[in-house]
């Protein structure tokens, strides 16, 4: 069982949801974002990030996670949020894309939620050009943007990251 499910409504024996969508919710400033639980491997407290020369701007650097070199992506930069110093209270969300394992920096990892699939709204119906989001859900506390990590980096950024890792690691 995925360790994130421990706090999920699905783990409480509540009524079954029809095809529930399970999301790991995290915060950047006052905004909430989510990743599908199926792609998240773990969340951990901030660790030392090693700079990666020639990496795309979206990459803070890399971490060594049990012998695997994992790029750390800057979600703030992608979504044009104000930059801020990384601190020990920050978190890393380790997740899988179709190509690689990555880590995202988050201010906090809030919770795992399970919602009916019908709760997901297509992002294009809210604002065209939200290619990094696979959906939006509305909750009492506001909206949550669901990330699509497979399109987070452009092809050019993926190639630059591959070259930087190959050259430096």
pLDDT along the chain (169 residues), means of 10: 44 54 94 95 96 92 96 91 93 95 96 93 78 86 90 88 90
Q: Is 146 helix (H, G, I), strand (E, B) or coil?
A: strand
Q: Buried (b) or exposed (e) across 53-89, using 16+ Cβ within 10 A?
A: eebbebbbbbbebeeeebbbbbbbebeeeeeeeeeee
Query: Which pLDDT belongs to residue 1?
Result: 44
Residue ranges per structural domain of the chain: 17-168
Query: Which pLDDT belongs to residue 25?
Result: 96
State how far the Cα of 150 lies from the Cα of 132, in Å rounded to an integer.
9
Query: Which pLDDT belongs to residue 37?
Result: 96
Query: Which pLDDT belongs to residue 17?
Result: 45
pLDDT tens digits along 21-41: 999 999 999 899 999 999 999
Mean pLDDT of the chain: 86
Query: Which pLDDT belongs to residue 11?
Result: 42
DSSP code per residue over 114-128: EEEGGG-B-GGGTST
DSSP state at residue 88: T
Query: Which pLDDT belongs to residue 18?
Result: 56
β-pair partners for 162: none
> What is the CATH number that goes with domain 17-168?
2.40.50.180
Query: Which pLDDT belongs to residue 8?
Result: 41
DSSP code per residue over 6-41: GGSGGGGT-PPPSSEEEEEEEEETTEEEEEEGGGEE
State how far the Cα of 6 lies from the Cα of 71, in Å rounded to an integer.
27
């Amino acid at each position: 069982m995925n360790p994130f499910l421990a706090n999920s409504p699905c783990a409480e024996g509540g009524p079954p949801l029809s095809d529930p969508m399970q999301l790991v919710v995290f915060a950047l400033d006052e905004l909430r974002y989510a990743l599908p639980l199926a792609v998240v491997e773990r969340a951990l407290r901030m660790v030392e990030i090693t700079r990666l020369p020639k990496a795309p701007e979206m990459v803070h650097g890399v971490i060594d996670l049990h012998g695997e070199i994992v790029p750390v992506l800057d979600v703030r930069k992608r979504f044009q949020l104000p930059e801020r110093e990384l601190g020990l209270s920050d978190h890393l969300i380790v997740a899988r894309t179709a190509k690689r394992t990555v880590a995202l920096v988050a201010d906090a990892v809030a919770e795992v939620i399970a919602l009916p699939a019908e709760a997901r709204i297509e992002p294009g119906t809210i604002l065209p050009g939200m290619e990094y989001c696979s959906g939006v859900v509305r909750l009492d506390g506001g909206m949550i943007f669901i990330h699509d990590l497979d399109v987070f980096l452009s092809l050019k950024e993926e190639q630059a990251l591959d070259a930087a890792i190959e050259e430096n690691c």
